[in-house]
Amino acid sequence: MKFYSTHQKCPPVTFREAVMKGLAADGGLFMPEEIPVLPASFFHQLKTMTFQEIAFEVAQHLLKQELPAAKLQEIIESAFNFEVPLRSLSEQIHTLELFHGPTLAFKDFAARFMARLMAYFIAGSPQKLTILVATSGDTGSAVADGFFQMDGIQVFILYPAGKVSAIQEKQLTTQGKNIIALEIQGTFDDCQHIVKQSFMDDDLVMKLNLTSANSINIARLIPQSFYYFHATAQIAGPLQPIIFSVPSGNWGNITAGVFAKRMGLPIAKFVAAVNANDGIPKYLKSGHFQVQPTRQTLSNAMDVGNPSNFARILDLYHHDPVKIREDFWSVSILDDEVRQTIQEAYAKYNYILEPHGAVGYAALKRYLKASDSKNKVILLETAHPAKFLPVVQELIPTSISMPDRLKQCQKLEKKSIFLPANFHIVKEFLMNF
């Protein structure tokens, strides 16, 4: 299996090269030359398979012997050692809880898989690997946990000062050792831009042996495709169409869903739920995408004005907005509706949503009203409500219990290095670290 750049200005590379480079030499994102369709027998067996068994089969078909089967199995068993429960809110509406990993967010799936994959790829190498990652919230904490004390790997996490939750900040700034938090005076898009510039800088790439753990890295998307199959298996027959509502910021999670659809999963529609950063809904209406300034919202992990992975969506659909509209429906949900939705979900279902899940649920409700669809629907709930305690607690009448792992994290000392949103200053810091 070879992987090409979305810019198509450099030669295809192996999976290992795509993972270790992160970004293509021409600045594009890596994509598999082929997305294989899984056999019908796989879908008929889905209901009897564990999450780990599903992950192994999907990865085996997609990666096509890029690493030994025994090693792939080991990575999967080690990375996904937590539950992935589906909760039914009604006969039609279900929520897949993706927050039962160590940092209580869906990013654990990708970060833990990637960390073990990269550790395997660099085993025995004399040169240390440097990971540069931008975060709008949960990516940073998941990467910090997933790569903590990994031999031969140094991690720098760039996050926007004052624009992640207090709990998220503690999670990504308290590890120490090989995890260095860089607090950038700017937005997530500033952090992401600095990371992309770094990969285009020969000095940094050569000296630091640089790669990324952002969803620009193809290794992030592959494990995120696994839970689409797992969720569908729990509520539907092998050929029953499903609708997924996906809280969408940088568009990695929903792109992984498209991979699952292309591999044969019967997904009828993706509800791309966004907050006030509404570039994609505008694109679906006009056919033209325009980068816009990032707007700060309650669902901070989705505060992205220029989502990187939309380049992969455009590539998959050959830049045809008509074809994209066939699979996607998108709407912007503002903070007032987020608050109302959290209250409504608790009152109606006794279920506690956090802001990102609330965006997804509100968008889903709007889609069902507009389409009158009777298909079963699955909301991807991406984080534990305790991570957004100040917002959620005041909206519902019951106390939200704080998981022990978050309690312990809050007792630790924040360690970060404050830098301006300036590539040259960040580069000088990295070169002299």
Domains of the chain, by residue range, sit at: 83-106+219-403
Asked whether residue 394 carries a pLDDT value surpassing 70, the answer given is yes
Taking only the tens place, the pLDDT of each residue in 49-75 is 999 999 999 999 998 888 999 999 999
Taking only the tens place, the pLDDT of each residue in 114-143 is 999 999 999 988 888 999 999 987 788 999
Over the range 54-73, which residues count as b (16 or more CB within 10 Å of their CB) and which as e?
bbbbbbbbbeeebbeeeebb
Residue 268: strand, helix, or coil: strand
pLDDT, residue 144, reads 92
CB of 201 within 8 A of CB of 431? no
CB of 209 within 8 A of CB of 129? yes
Taking only the tens place, the pLDDT of each residue in 180-189 is 999 999 998 9
Residue 203: strand, helix, or coil: helix
Q: What token pair was written down for 135?
A: 């975060």
Task: Return d(Cα 346, Cα 51) in angstroms, integer.
Answer: 28
Nearest in space to 271 (alpha carbons), one of 325, 219, 316:
325
Over the range 168-195, which residues count as b (16 or more CB within 10 Å of their CB) and which as e?
bbbbbbbbeebbbbbbbebbbbbbbbbb
Q: What mean pLDDT comes out for the span 355-373?
A: 96
Q: Which of 105-114, 199-208, 337-346 has the lowest mean pLDDT?
A: 199-208
Asked whether residue 40 carries a pLDDT value surpassing 90, the answer given is yes
**Which residue is catalytic, options 21, 107, 163, 170?**
107
CA dihedral 184, 186, 191, 192 (to 10 degrees): 170
pLDDT, residue 238, reads 63
pLDDT, residue 137, reads 74
Taking only the tens place, the pLDDT of each residue in 144-160 is 999 999 989 999 999 99
pLDDT, residue 212, reads 87
CB of 214 within 8 A of CB of 139? yes
Whether 107 sits among the annotated catalytic residues: the reply is yes
Task: Return d(Cα 159, Cα 154) in angstroms, integer.
Answer: 16
User: Which CATH architecture best describes the domain 83-106+219-403?
Assistant: 3-Layer(aba) Sandwich (3.40)
| H-helix or E-strand spanning residue 170 | helix 166-173
Longest dimension (CA), the chain: 59
Nearest in space to 255 (alpha carbons), one of 306, 313, 323:
313
Taking only the tens place, the pLDDT of each residue in 218-235 is 999 999 999 999 999 998
Taking only the tens place, the pLDDT of each residue in 282-304 is 999 999 999 989 899 999 889 99
Q: What is the pTM of this model?
A: 0.92
More confident residue, 400 or 237: 400
Nearest in space to 354 (alpha carbons), one of 377, 324, 379, 384:
384
